[in-house]
Amino acid sequence: MNLFSTFNDVLKPDVQARIAAYVDEPAEKATKAVEGLVFTIVGGLMKRTTSEIGVNQLFNHIKKGRYDGSLTDNLLTVLRDPAQTNTLITQGNDVISHLLPAMKSSIGSMISSYAGIRNSSAISLLGLTSTIVLHVLGKRVSDQKLDADGLASSLFSERESFVNAVPEEFMPRLVEKVGLQQIVAGMAAPARRTTVETPARPVATQSTIASKPVATVTRPAITYEPDDTSDENSSLVKWGMGALLVLALGAIGFYVYQNTQNHAGDKQATDLSLISSDTVKTDTVSRSLAVPAEVTPKAAAKPAVTPTTTTPGVTTTPVAATGSALTQQMAPYIGNVALPKGRIFPLPGVAFQPGSLSLTPGSETTINELVTLLKTYPRLQVQLIGYANDAQGGVTNKSLSFKRVNQIKQQLMTAGIDYLRIDAIGRGTGVTRNRSDSLSMTRPTLRKIDLKVVVK
């Protein structure tokens, strides 16, 4: 039985009806939304497990969250209790925020539009469906005794079933929103964790340890463990060693005493020496404090050397020396491990022609600079955040903002950057309209591209 047949058995009509009643949506629309979410979550997890980090995260969430399939056995009973249902939604939304970061809102809007339900209902169904999906996967892990790599391989074995099961009308928007181009095309594969090789280490370690006891046993047998017939000689040796130790301590004590006596009369000279030494140190500090005021022009010429000493192993020197505004802002931040992730930087010079997806002259320079940064820092993961207020025709500002950042993402991928390191979201005008807030209508709309550092 493939994965999607299992979901059909779990999400029976009476279960779907109960879910629809909980979110207060028509049963037909709620069912369509849940089915779309199953495909979305499974596809997103396939994409996530193409990276080593994603493989580990999925497996750890299943194990630590105790997703063992127990929910699927009594799902209808649980759904009859609103409190328990709300708990499942909260758990699922929390997990999806970790496994598919920064995608919850975009998935919610996609499902809302696809099934014709409220966005709030789509978000609730996303949390509930995520919990159900993890329980189904957890049961497979338990039944088949899969490790993390086995789970990822099991997911990818469903690729063909996934492609055939997704409704034709839903596939284009799913591929675009979740970025499943390589999954659908069959060009992606599950990552193999480098930590999988760790079981080999204990073997090597054990062999090393196994060889060490031989050496350890051999040395004591020769040096420290005399035969039983030599107990008397051993006692004499111990007493002799003790006597030698006492004599050595006495000699050291006599030397210290003589040295103290010889230098007692030189206390004044020693004090002068210490004063002189302290004076030198103080003078050195004074001169070092005076350097910034006197040598300011020279200090400005040395920023390219600083990253080399503060971030060893990272080739920040050539980037800082040649980069423009984006690199000068980001390189010190990325290179400083003490600074928390999550900072947002504007992409200077990146803009689009009004109402279009055509970049303005000069935008390519910053995009190429971003490519260089991503290649210089191979651990760096970013999120492109787009805003637009110039949509024309039947295109919405949110759709336009997403298409623009997705276009930049495609350029980065074409330049050789792994698509898993780049997330892209569009936030329309950036203005959240609250009916209770009369000022919301007067807030300025945005048209820009920002860059958020997700992992550095």
Q: Is 357 helix (H, G, I), strand (E, B) or coil?
A: coil
Look up tokens 């000689």; give the residue.
233
Sheet holding 381-387, edge to edge: 344-346, 448-455, 381-387, 422-426
Which two tokens mark 171?
Answer: 């596939």
Q: Are 424 and 408 in contact (CB under 8 A)?
A: yes
- Are residues 358 and 425 part of one domain? yes
pLDDT in tens, 254-264: 666 665 555 44
Neighbours of 240 (CB within 10 A): 10
Does 245 map to a domain?
Answer: no
- Answer whether residue 234 shows pLDDT above 70: no
How are beta strands 344-346 and 422-426 bridged, if at all? unpaired
Q: How far apart, in whole angstroms, are the C-alpha atoms of residue 22 and residue 344?
A: 38
Question: Average pLDDT, stretch 13-38?
Answer: 94
| Element housing 381 (H / E) | strand 381-387
Instruction: Indicate whether 401 and 422 sit together in one domain.
Output: yes
The pair of structure tokens assigned to 456 is 């550095």
Residue 10 lies in a domain: yes
Does 348 share its domain with 400? yes
* Interstrand relation of 381-387 and 344-346 (parallel, antiparallel or unpaired): unpaired
The count of structural domains within the chain is 3
What's the token pair of residue 76? 């209808």
Contact (CB, 8 A) for 399 and 390 = no
Are 317 and 221 members of one domain? no
Residue 32 lies in a domain: yes
Domain stops at, among 192, 209, 235? 192
Which is more confident, 387 or 242?
387
Q: What is the per-residue pLDDT across 375-419, written as a single tens digit (0 to 9) for each?
A: 999 999 999 999 999 999 888 999 899 999 999 999 999 999 998
Confidence of residue 13 (pLDDT cuts 50, 70, 90): very high
Would you say residue 66 lies in a domain? yes
Tokens encoding 210: 């196994």
How far is C-alpha 6 from the geometric centre of its chain's CA atoms?
31
Domain assignment present for 253: no
At 288, the pLDDT band (50, 70, 90 cuts) reads very low
Last residue in a domain, options 171, 192, 213 = 192
User: Cα separation of 129 and 35, whole Å?
Assistant: 9
Within this chain, do residues 210 and 105 fall inside the same structural domain, yes or no? no
For 206, the token pair is 């054990």
Q: Do both 173 and 32 map to the same domain?
A: yes
What DSSP element (H or E) covers 230? none
Q: Which residues contact 153 (CB under 8 A, 6 or more apart)?
A: 190
pLDDT grade, residue 249 (50/70/90)?
A: confident
Query: Do 161 and 215 fall within a single domain?
Result: no
Residues listed for the chain: 456
295 inside domain: no
Same domain, 147 and 207: no
Q: Which 3 state secondary structure label does DSSP give 428? A: coil
pLDDT of residue 259: 57
In which band, very low, low, confident or very high, does the pLDDT at 183 lie, cut at 50, 70 and 90?
confident
Least confident of 177-191, 228-242, 332-346, 425-439: 228-242
212 with 329, same domain: the answer is: no
Residue 18 lies in a domain: yes
State how far the Cα of 437 lies from the Cα of 425, in Å rounded to an integer: 26
Q: Which domain holds residue 221?
A: 199-225
CB count in 10 Å sphere of residue 58 = 23
Q: Assess whether 322 and 221 both reside in one domain.
A: no
Q: Do the domain assignments include residue 39?
A: yes
Interacting residues of 3 by C-beta distance below 8 A, sequence separation 6+? 42, 136, 140, 155, 158, 161
pLDDT interval class at 215 (50, 70, 90): very low
Higher-confidence residue of 111 and 219: namely 111
Q: Assign 303 a pLDDT band (cuts: 50, 70, 90).
A: very low
**What CATH number is attached to the domain comprising 363?**
3.30.1330.60
Residue 438's pLDDT is 55
**Is residue 331 pLDDT above 80, yes or no?**
yes
Together in a domain, 321 and 448: yes
210 and 138, same structural domain? no
CA dist., res. 291 & res. 275, Å (int): 24
